[in-house]
Amino acid sequence: MGKEKKAADAKAVLFKRLYGVKPGTFHKMLLILQKEFNALHKNGSKPPKLTPEDKL
């Protein structure tokens, strides 16, 4: 998650260069992904190696 920490402190331009989307769009996509992730793993299973943020 080194990229995300760097991008959090940077301007929107740098964030867009790192991720390819604007910060607002990234956070909307992350919320949708986390909802689906929680629904998929609500019954319990082996935790994945990558977090939803890393998958994005």
Q: Where are the domains of the chain?
A: 2-55
Rounded distance between C-alpha atoms, residue 49 and residue 51, angstroms: 7
49 DSSP assignment:
S
Structure tokens at 41: 């793993």
Q: Taking residues 9-14, report their average pLDDT.
A: 73
What's the rounded Cα separation, in Å, for the pair 10 and 42? 35
The mean pLDDT value of the chain amounts to 79
Question: Has residue 31 got a pLDDT over 80?
Answer: yes
Length of the chain, in residues? 56
Q: Is 0.85 surpassed by the pTM of this model?
A: no
